[in-house]
Amino acid sequence: DAKTTQPNSMESNEEEPVHLPCNHSTISGTDYIHWYRQLPSQGPEYVIHGLTSNVNNRMASLAIAEDRKSSTLILHRATLRDAAVYYCILLNAGKSTFGDGTTLTVKP
Amino acid sequence: EPEVTQTPSHQVTQMGQEVILRCVPISNHLYFYWYRQILGQKVEFLVSFYNNEISEKSEIFDDQFSVERPDGSNFTLKIRSTKLEDSAMYFCASSGAGSRKLFFGSGTQLSVL
């Protein structure tokens, strides 16, 4: 099944934008690109998803490359509460595999 | 917002015992999933369930595991004979049609002694 690749960790300063990249070069035409995050001692939480076009919601923005082989989650102003592991996954029929995710550290 | 409910929050069992982890998905959802997370590791897919049958399963989901939707509201994961390495946090998730946005429960921490 299609796999995603993310950097192991990233750091940001509070109130600054954060760009979290994800590569998914084997994406198929019907895969949705989803982002979830996991705060310490909690279950994964939905952040945003898209198919082909860029998306915005109250939590974040998702920029999807034209060939769909990569995407970037954008947190416009990081807060301390955004410190979490961020997972980029591809969702289609049935199976969804979480990669290793990116651990985001936000410094005050 | 509607949520996925999992019970119990913690389960302790002896090796070799059977355990059943319970989940109540969001009521109008059609797809149901189990994931697990061993302490300090990533979230691992176990199984997905749609239309009263397994649609996908991972290599982890061997003959010791089974899932059931016994009554149209509950979704259960049974481990027939638990092993020490089954100790993990087990997450249930559900999704509707279309984009398949996953809603996760808060998990059941299983400890096998």
Q: What is the pLDDT of residues B48-84, one digit of tens each?
A: 999 889 988 999 999 999 999 988 789 999 999 999 9
Percent of chain A's residues with pLDDT above 90: 75
Our CA angle for B77, B2, B11, nearest 5°, is 30
User: Which among A96-100, B8-12, B47-51 has the top mean pLDDT?
Assistant: B8-12
DSSP label of B60: T
Answer yes or no: do B33 and A87 touch at CB < 8 A: no
Q: Where are the beta strands (DSSP E) in chain A?
A: 9-13, 18-23, 32-38, 45-50, 55-56, 61-64, 70-75, 84-91, 102-107
Of A41, A43, A50, nearest to A88 (Cα)?
Answer: A50
Q: Do A96 and B48 touch (CB under 8 A)?
A: yes
Give CA B73 to chain center in angstroms: 14
Q: How many CB pairs under 8 A join A and B?
A: 60
Confidence grade of residue B4 (pLDDT, cut at 50, 70, 90) = very high
pLDDT at A45 over 70: yes
> Taking CB atoms and an 8 Å limit, are B107 and A43 in contact across chains?
yes
Of A43, A87, A96, the CB nearest to B106: A43
Task: Give me the percent of chain A exceeding a pLDDT of 70.
Answer: 95
pLDDT at A18: 97
Distance from CA of B81 to the nearest CA of A (A): 25
From the list B64, B66, B68, the residue with the least C-alpha distance to B83 is: B64
What counts of helices (H) and strands (E) characterise chain B? 0, 11
Minimal CA separation from B68 to chain A, in Å: 16
| The predicted structure's pLDDT at residue B70 | 85
How much is the average pLDDT of B8-23?
Answer: 96
Q: How far apart are CA B34 and CA B44, in angstroms?
A: 9
Rounded to the nearest integer, the mean pLDDT of chain A is 91
